[in-house]
Amino acid sequence: MPDTLDRPVTQEQGDKAGFRLAAFGAVLVIVLFAAYGIGRLNDSTGTAATPPGPANANMPGMAATPTSATMPGMAVDENQPHAHSTQAPMTPAGESVGGLSLSSSGLTLATESPQGTTFRAGRAQPLRFKITNANGVPITTFAVVHDRPLHLVVIRRDLTGFQHLHPTMAPDGTWGIELTLATPGSYRAIADFTAIVGGSQVAATLGADLTVPGNYAPVALPAPAQQASADDFQVSYEGVPRVESIQPLLMTVTAAGKPAALEPYLGAYGHLVVLREGDVGYLHVHPETQLIDGKVKFWLAAPGPGRYRMFFDFQVAGRVHTAAWSLTVN
């Protein structure tokens, strides 16, 4: 093989080599600029496609509803206002409602009343049920949230006959309470609780239908108003719930024209249950820990357009009262 290492390079060969090196450098610069441009384009597209965070992510004093379900072992901070609904996180399109299903998050509400799910109008009868895991085994350990391990709301499907109850649990996991359903119709029983499953806390809101046979006379939803009477008290609220953002609602309670001396009830100065017409979708909202100029302050994002009924429980002189309003969200 000829030895070329010591052969002198001619002018023509040098010119060709320089041309090839310059051409290679130009191609390299073009490739680098193209890659940079594609990277910028991808970055821009990814940023625009990223959805905004939860509606209450930056709201002072707000705790996300699904904390226990999505982060096992963490409890709801009862020193912050929060809402009980489903385990789906809140989105900018509004909060998710609960109570629409017998099963959720691997838990099931199993009714075991002696008479089944049929009740007689105006007669106290036992309501019995269990909360079971995915294998059908009853859950017997629950976290105490606002002074109770389980909150039970019962209401007729036309949003009348509201009851906020607290059944007791037997050692075998059977919950029980004597329940009176005043008039014929179809009712919804909604259990709101945080179960301890495998050492983790799982918040859930489950619902079951109850039936009272007889001549059913549905009641039309009252017209929207911001004033209501509750026994000897006048109750009003300020604020307009919206779907796209969390808004404050302030409740004012007066008696004979003077501010009522509100007392803590179940760990708060009030409890707000919001129920949607049509499917009885459920929200249970807790307020800020301190009164604001004597008013109870809640934060709420409406789940979606529609008509709702709001029920506000408050306590004065050791007695609990309930005010109710109709609400239309556009």
Last residue of a domain, which of 185, 212, 239? Answer: 212
Residue 281 and residue 241 in one domain: yes
CA Rg, the chain, in Å? 31
Range of the domain at 139: 67-212
Give domain status of residue 135, yes or no. yes
Q: Does the pLDDT of residue 22 top 50, yes or no?
A: no
Q: What is the pLDDT of residues 84-135, one digit of tens each?
A: 443 333 334 467 899 999 999 999 999 999 999 999 999 999 999 999 999 9
Counted domains in the chain: 2
Q: Does the pLDDT of residue 161 top 90, yes or no?
A: yes
Residue 199 and residue 275 in one domain: no
Give domain status of residue 321, yes or no. yes
| DSSP helix/strand/coil, 312 | strand
Q: Which tokens hold the place of 235? A: 């109750």
Whole-number pLDDT of residue 139: 98
Last residue of a domain, which of 158, 184, 212? Answer: 212
Q: What is the pLDDT of residues 168-194, one digit of tens each?
A: 999 999 999 999 999 999 999 999 999
Give domain status of residue 16, yes or no. no
Residue 85 and residue 198 in one domain: yes
Give domain status of residue 90, yes or no. yes
Residue 76 and residue 179 in one domain: yes
Give domain status of residue 46, yes or no. no
Distance CA(60)–CA(128), nearest Å, equals 40
Q: Does the pLDDT of residue 215 top 70, yes or no?
A: yes
CB 270 within 8 A of CB 243: no
Give domain status of residue 19, yes or no. no
Q: Does the pLDDT of residue 60 top 70, yes or no?
A: no
Residue 259 and residue 236 in one domain: yes
Whole-number pLDDT of residue 36: 37
Whole-number pLDDT of residue 94: 60
Letter string b/e over residues 156-191, b meaning 16 or more CB atoms within 10 A of that residue's CB: bbbbbbbbbeebebeeebbbebebebebbbebbbbb
Residue 277 and residue 206 in one domain: no
CB 82 within 8 A of CB 62: yes
Residue 110 and residue 194 in one domain: yes
Last residue of a domain, which of 189, 212, 235? Answer: 212
Better pLDDT: 36 or 224: 224
Count Cβ atoms below 10 Å from residue 51 Cβ, excluding itself.
7
Q: Which tokens hold the place of 223? A: 């017209």
CATH number, domain with residue 246: 2.60.40.1930
Half-sphere exposure of 50 (CA within 13 A, CB side): 9
Give backbone dihedrals phi and psi of 191, rounded to 5 degrees, phi first: -100, 125
Query: Lowest-confidence range among 21-30, 170-179, 220-229, 301-310?
Result: 21-30
Give domain status of residue 31, yes or no. no
Q: Does the pLDDT of residue 271 top 70, yes or no?
A: yes
Residue 133 and residue 99 in one domain: yes
Query: How many percent of the chain have pLDDT more than 90?
Result: 70
Better pLDDT: 87 or 303: 303
Residue 258 and residue 170 in one domain: no
Q: How confident is the model at residue 211 (pLDDT cuts 50, 70, 90)?
A: very high
| DSSP helix/strand/coil, 32 | helix
Query: Lowest-confidence range among 80-84, 265-269, 317-321?
Result: 80-84
Q: What is the pLDDT of residues 135-150, one digit of tens each?
A: 999 999 999 999 999 9
Q: Does the pLDDT of residue 275 top 60, yes or no?
A: yes
Residue 204 and residue 267 in one domain: no
Give domain status of residue 133, yes or no. yes
Whole-number pLDDT of residue 91: 38
Q: Does the pLDDT of residue 52 top 60, yes or no?
A: no
Residue 276 and residue 186 in one domain: no
Distance CA(259)–CA(133), nearest Å, equals 46
Residue 183 and residue 145 in one domain: yes
User: Which of 26-30, 68-72, 184-188 tops mean pLDDT?
Assistant: 184-188
